[in-house]
Structure 1
Amino acid sequence: MRYTTPAFKVLLIIGVILSSFYASLAIDKTKSSCLVRSEGIERGESKKSELNGKSVHNNPIPVFSKEEYVWRFDKLNEACPIQLDFNDIVKRYIDVYSVRHRDKTARILGLSEIYFPIFEEYLDKYGLPLELKYIAVIESALNPKAKSRSGATGLWQFMFHASRMFDLKINSYVDERMDPVKSTDAACKYLQYLYRIFGDWQLTIAAYNGGPGVVRDAIKASGGKTNFWDIAPFLPEQTQKYLPAFIAVNYVMTYNQDHNIIPEHLKFSYLKLSDVNVKEPLSLMNVSKELDISIEDLRRLNPIYKLDFIPKSELPARLTLPVDKVAAFINEESRLYAAPQKKVLYHDLEKNMSSTRGKRCIVHIVQAGEFFHKIAMKYSCTSENIKTWNNLRGDILHIGQKLKVWVPVSQSSSNTMKNLDLLDLVHVSGYNDQNSKSTNTHISMLTNSY
């Protein structure tokens, strides 16, 4: 078939228009389903991300090439005396902190504004690498009241008997393992001791978890090798995981902005806190009432005082307060000391247990062998509380039965952490020397499937 010149031109124009139209459709489709490259960062801008049951729209999770990770690790190693290796194992832990549990990392970043200045001051005092502060992130997620199932306690997770080696006082009123300053000083002494044994920071960090005896045994079993990655197969599983997790935390805490992890804004920071001297016995409840500061905040800032009371036997003592409350404490000091400690009455306790005010409802699933009293002891309530909350009359429970339980917000958060499927919250750590050998179980953010 032949076309005249004008008709051919018309067909050619129509063809160009249609080609442009379909090309634009293809580009839009590609943009909507693929990663968009922007300033060296690959981002799934239009893809709906789900993280821990939460959707992330305005804070996309970046994806980086291996070359970008290698470049960043080179920069880290230029400024760090601890060798920070990048490999597939470390990369999996980076994903734990930067992708799967980035909300917890954001909170840790917020808490770091309180505790990292303390850690850095004492690490510097002992001539230790400042990057060792990240050990506390793995040990306790920067929670000074963290306590493992075996009893390891505090930011640096010391066991009861091990704490005596570092003169950390523990009695009915105080637990210095929860004191950010004194426990950090003890951790620095222990790290210094371990480094004198091994002369290698990677082995020192592994020994902080498993104990020097465990590391020495692994060196012997490997035929005398002293590289962590060479002796790793001869270490306990949890100690194998410890160094990769430490390296990953170093990376994520340094490059959190590149991963779009925004630190959680917390009420307090290091520069907004100050200590006051306590000269006479003092009730934290009285301080809370007179200075208009919540008892929860006072406990958070002073975790060392187990019973909300500073007795005469612990004087002189210090109390940490928000800076804007220091003047009020000094002005009201004599009255605060004179105020009698309020005696806790049975009816007040009963009323607090049964009340749901200021508490959060969680669901407990009945396991084999559980009964009302056992469940009540777990959640610090009574059997009658549980029956009332669930409209139950009898004493019979069934396996798999769901019960509503009201607990303090802080306790519900702790239980949520313990029940996360993706987290192995317990890891093995201990102190070993030639004369003694013990294994401690700590709280951790290490994952089972690395």
Structure 2
Amino acid sequence: MKKQALLLISLFIICVSKAQTDSIIISMPGSSLVNDNTSLTNDYDNVEKIMGINDTVDILELDPLEDLIYRRLKILDASSPIDFSYNKSTVYYIKKYLDRDVKLISIMLGVSPYYFPMMEQQLDRFQIPLELKYLAIVESSLNPKARSRSGATGLWQFMYPTGKEYGLEVTSYIDERQDPLKSTIAACTYFEKLYSMFGDWHLVLAAYNGGPGYIKRLMTKTELTNYWDLQPHLKKETQNYVPKFIAISYAMTFYKEYTIDIINSDLNITQNDTISFKKQAPYHIISDMFCVSKETLNYLNPAYKQELLPLGEIIYLPNHVIMDIVRNEDFFYDYLEKVDNKEILVNEIRLVYIVEKGDYLGKISKQYNLSVPDIKEWNNLHSDNLSIGDELILYIPDER
């Protein structure tokens, strides 16, 4: 009896002396001190310290759904160095991903087996919490070709300058921000640097979204060092960033308990390996030669921008395709050379064009969607000069 009286007194003191933005609603039937509409802080640790109680939820009757969320967040929190806090904004996004946006979770459960093992391997190598793999869902929905309005690109949404700073090459043919492995290594390096600056994973996440300079300036201005204290002062996107991360982590971890279906990809992409070619290889040639769809090639190799594998670069392919290439390597290179020399035409036709009055190379190239350098190479032209009646050999796409 004495212990219960002390509990009620401690709860009353907390209620009248502390008011925080993020709170939970509790009810104690039959109590004159606390009614169904009383809002108490979610800082259960104070109550636990006063009463020596390990889990106050056993005494404080929460809404059943929120009580379950609270207990499961405790499980996540116990298994990670990241603080999986229970508060109003976190619960809002958890409910959102379990209801209105549950299809996203279903799709991510189908796609994640392709990316998560690689991410976990790199996160472990850098001694970084494995749960950070879920941040790639917040950033890009696990789409390596995702591009924001501001130009951030890839699974981890690197801006061009940040990507270059962390070793990600961007050229006319390749964008390594879209390379799953290389961008994940860059993200791990960046996480490592941010943690050395802030020493707190919530602040690391906020800095990843808003920029370390912005977070440092705001911390100096407000004299606040805790993310949840800092949250009301952050711009809206960064306010919601950590709650979204926690909510995604929660939904992806406990999807079975909520009977969330898995939407599997139609692509068989789990069994693949790498190979490099001695010649530059267009995707359509690889596709036609080895019966692998361009959709699969693009999915496995999102870093290549022109559906063209540059000389010496590594390409990911299904295992059975790589075996076909190894068995037919000499024939493949001979075939590529004949295609390059126009001895074999693939998806194009040969056209003889007669130059007319007013024609020039730029006009002709635009008319047939070709490049001037290609027209000059095909016709062994050393200048742009043309004469009426000249015959030009053009290779144009076969649209039949």
What is the TM-score of this pair, normalised by structure 1? Answer: 0.60
Q: Deviations over 1:36-86 (max 9, x none)?
A: xxxxxxxxxxxxxxxxxxxxxxxxxxx952221111111111101000111
Query: Which of 317, 324, 327 is the matching residue for 1:321?
Result: 317
Given that 2:269 and 2:318 are in contact with CA atoms closer than 8 Å, whether structure 1 keeps it comes out as no
Q: Distance in 1 between matches of 2:141 and 2:177?
A: 15
Q: Distance in 2 between matches of 1:212 and 1:139?
A: 17
Distance 1:328 1:344, change over 3 A: closer
Whether 2:300 is the aligned partner of 1:301: answer yes
User: Match of 1:151, SS?
Assistant: coil
1:26-425 equivalent positions in 2, closer than 5 A: 65-222=65-222, 224-268=223-267, 271-312=270-311, 315=312, 317-338=313-334, 339=336, 340=339
User: Match of 2:287, SS?
Assistant: helix
Q: Distance in 2 between matches of 1:237 and 1:346?
A: 55
Specify every segment of 5 or more residues in structure 2 that has no aligned partner in the other structure, as ranges.
1-62, 351-400
Write the letter of the residue equivalent to 1:336. F
Instruction: Tell which deviates more after alignment, 110-119 or 159-168.
Output: 159-168
Larger Rg belongs to:
2
Q: Distance in 2 between matches of 1:97 and 1:337?
A: 50
Cα deviation, residue 300, structure 1: 0.9
Q: Distance in 1 between matches of 2:333 and 2:147?
A: 31
Q: Distance in 2 between matches of 1:324 and 1:346?
A: 31
Given that 1:179 and 1:304 are in contact with CA atoms closer than 8 Å, whether structure 2 keeps it comes out as yes
Distance 1:332 1:180, change over 3 A: same
Cα deviation, residue 141, structure 1: 0.1
Given that 1:117 and 1:270 are in contact with CA atoms closer than 8 Å, whether structure 2 keeps it comes out as no
Aligned length: 282
Given that 1:219 and 1:231 are in contact with CA atoms closer than 8 Å, whether structure 2 keeps it comes out as yes
Write the letter of the residue equivalent to 1:128. I
User: Match of 2:316, SS?
Assistant: strand
Cα deviation, residue 102, structure 1: 1.1
Given that 1:268 and 1:322 are in contact with CA atoms closer than 8 Å, whether structure 2 keeps it comes out as no
User: Match of 1:206, SS?
Assistant: helix
Cα deviation, residue 345, structure 1: 6.3
Cα deviation, residue 346, structure 1: 10
Given that 2:269 and 2:300 are in contact with CA atoms closer than 8 Å, whether structure 1 keeps it comes out as no
User: Match of 1:274, SS?
Assistant: strand
Calculate the aligned-residue CA RMSD, in Å.
Answer: 2.1
> Which structure has the higher relative contact order (CA within 8 Å, separation 6+)?
1
User: Match of 1:100, SS?
Assistant: coil
Write the letter of the residue equivalent to 1:249. I
Cα deviation, residue 269, structure 1: 6.5
Q: Distance in 2 between matches of 1:64 and 1:252?
A: 17
Distance 1:64 1:325, change over 3 A: farther
Distance 1:291 1:221, change over 3 A: same
Between the aligned residues of both structures, percent identity stands at: 38
Cα deviation, residue 311, structure 1: 2.4
Write the letter of the residue equivalent to 1:102. V
Given that 1:139 and 1:156 are in contact with CA atoms closer than 8 Å, whether structure 2 keeps it comes out as yes
Q: Distance in 1 between matches of 2:213 and 2:172?
A: 32
Specify every segment of 5 or more residues in structure 1 that has no aligned partner in the other structure, as ranges.
1-62, 348-450
Given that 1:106 and 1:262 are in contact with CA atoms closer than 8 Å, whether structure 2 keeps it comes out as yes
Given that 1:73 and 1:251 are in contact with CA atoms closer than 8 Å, whether structure 2 keeps it comes out as yes
Given that 2:158 and 2:177 are in contact with CA atoms closer than 8 Å, whether structure 1 keeps it comes out as yes
Cα deviation, residue 337, structure 1: 3.2
Q: Distance in 2 between matches of 1:106 and 1:336?
A: 40
What is the TM-score of this pair, normalised by structure 2? Answer: 0.67
Q: Distance in 2 between matches of 1:269 and 1:206?
A: 36
Given that 1:302 and 1:320 are in contact with CA atoms closer than 8 Å, whether structure 2 keeps it comes out as yes
